[in-house]
Amino acid sequence: MAEDRERTSYDPSYDPGGEVVELCRDLIRIDTSNYGDDSGPGERKAAEHVAALLDEVGIGSELFESEPGRTSLIAQWGGAGSGPGSDRGALLVHGHLDVVPAAAEDWQVHPFSGEIRDGYLWGRGAVDMKDFDAMLLSVVRARTRAGAVPERPVVLCFTADEEAGGHRGAQVLVDDHADHLAHCTEAIGEVGGFSTSIRGQRLYLIEAAEKGMAWMRLTARGRAGHGSMINDENAVSRLAEAVARIGTYEWPVRLTPAMETLLAAVGEIAGTAANPENAEALVEEFGGAARMMGAVIRNTANPTMLQAGYKVNVIPTEATAHVDGRFLPGYEDEFFDTVAELCGEGIERSYLSHQQPWETPYDGDLVDAMTRCLLAEDPEGRVAPFLMSGGTDAKHFRKLGLRSYGFTPLRLPPDLDFTALFHGVDERVPVDALTFGARVLDRFLDEI
């Protein structure tokens, strides 16, 4: 692809990021709020919009609807001079179309307006993850028009339901439509390639691992009765004690390979050798991002919902709580054994979602390509892997045996609390970060 890079770089009409801002604005304006049930608008309108954008440049796509309105898209692209049977296999590039809900009254701008203000594009999905969807579409459309189609086959995938665990999106594609993905051997997706600032040094983080997910429902049962009487089988008390133990438990530090590599890089910048004893101090170097980084050097379990009773003077038979549990690769047994001990007797556990963690070795041609492309656009930066505290569709696609990474390249200002914008109020992305990401992604497609 060196010929294409040379040709397109001298073609004044070729701009991989030329459409990225408007594409992102248009996607944000399509409300795809995912409430975790059947009450949202679904992703159909957004998937049809993406299909039309691809069709404009001659790329056919196929829509997959797991339930009415819950729509994912797959398109086959590239493969000039090779095909699905090539030894390298195809690269899966995936992004999700749904977003978490947003209450307009809490925002400075309407969350689905796609407003540009102060150099930022505002709106729900601006960082999670319609920014990457727009980068990918802008680059693919520009390259296709310029005849710069990658020699390696690429599968473009836009999914439904990622924000509720991917069960109606990526999981359905893997379980029921794997033939469209069978030729893929590697994948890139969200949450990685963004910059953070450590003592004035820009450090780009590539996701190479994710914690496992255990969304748990805890149930306590007891003896119903009048609220004025003594009751030593109170379900509410029993559940509250378990929830308090879980919520206040201090999980020990555990370093996985990705985090050992990242903290070694941070330690080098900070002038100290990284080790488990100073891991928490090194995490503090991330500033606002320490909330996320502190969660990936240990297992976590956060109570999030409580429900019991129907009248103040009635002791109920049953009380329930929900806990968002996340566990590190290699520490699954420790997590579940500890949760069981903290729950104690008389607490039943069931799972709303139970997904395994993953970790991909931080090496190989794809990692080298991501690193080179970031540093080509920002020679003063550094690149390192990290472990993601949340979950992405990679959990499902990994079941196909793919080497997976999070790579949504963004060069961010050092004073932006970026990780707080995920699912946060006033979600926004710098306009110049979108064009930076498109340029990096364009270079990356030359390298794959």
Q: What local confidence, expressed as pLDDT, does residue 390 receive?
A: 87
CA–CA distance, 339 with 161 (Å, rounded to integer) = 28
CA–CA distance, 90 with 105 (Å, rounded to integer) = 44
Residue whose token pair is 């727009």: 134
CA–CA distance, 386 with 207 (Å, rounded to integer) = 5
- Tokens read off for 220: 């306590």
Residue whose C-alpha is closest to residue 51's, from 125, 164, 140, 175 = 140
Catalytic-labelled residue, pool 15, 43, 162, 210: 162
CA–CA distance, 72 with 60 (Å, rounded to integer) = 14
CA–CA distance, 427 with 107 (Å, rounded to integer) = 9
Q: Is 98 in the active site? A: yes
**Can you say how many angstroms the Cα of residue 162 is from the centroid of all Cα atoms in its chain?**
8
Q: What local confidence, expressed as pLDDT, does residue 12 receive?
A: 57
Residues of the chain with CATH 3.30.70.360: 212-355
First to last CA, the chain: 9
Taking only the tens place, the pLDDT of each residue in 397-429 is: 999 999 999 999 999 999 998 988 999 999 999
CA–CA distance, 259 with 328 (Å, rounded to integer) = 11
Residue whose token pair is 């891991």: 279
Q: What local confidence, expressed as pLDDT, does residue 57 receive?
A: 97
CA–CA distance, 189 with 136 (Å, rounded to integer) = 10
Residue whose C-alpha is closest to residue 172's, from 261, 64, 35 = 64
Residues of the chain with CATH 3.40.630.10: 2-191+392-447
Q: What local confidence, expressed as pLDDT, does residue 410 receive?
A: 97
- Tokens read off for 346: 């008389």
Q: What local confidence, expressed as pLDDT, does residue 7 receive?
A: 42
List the strands of the sheet with 347-355, edge to edge: 300-308, 318-327, 212-221, 347-355
Identify the CATH assignment for 2-191+392-447 out of 3.40.80.10, 3.40.50.720, 3.40.630.10, 2.40.30.30.
Answer: 3.40.630.10
DSSP states along 131-193: HHHHHHHHHHHHHHHHT---SSEEEEEEES-GGGTSTTTHHHHHHH-GGGTTTEEEEEESS-S
Q: What local confidence, expressed as pLDDT, does residue 302 receive?
A: 97
Q: Is 186 in the active site? A: no
DSSP states along 15-84: -TTTTHHHHHHHHHTS--B--SSS-S--SHHHHHHHHHHHHHTT---EEEEEETTEEEEEEEEE-TT--T
Taking only the tens place, the pLDDT of each residue in 178-202 is: 999 999 999 999 999 999 999 999 9
CATH top class, domain 212-355: alpha beta
Q: Spell 397-422 as b/e; 16+ CB within 10 A means b.
A: bbbbebbbbbbbbbbbeeebebbebb
Q: Which residues of the chain have pLDDT under 70?
A: 1-12, 80-87
pTM of the model: 0.91
Q: What local confidence, expressed as pLDDT, does residue 110 receive?
A: 97
Catalytic-labelled residue, pool 15, 19, 98, 446: 98
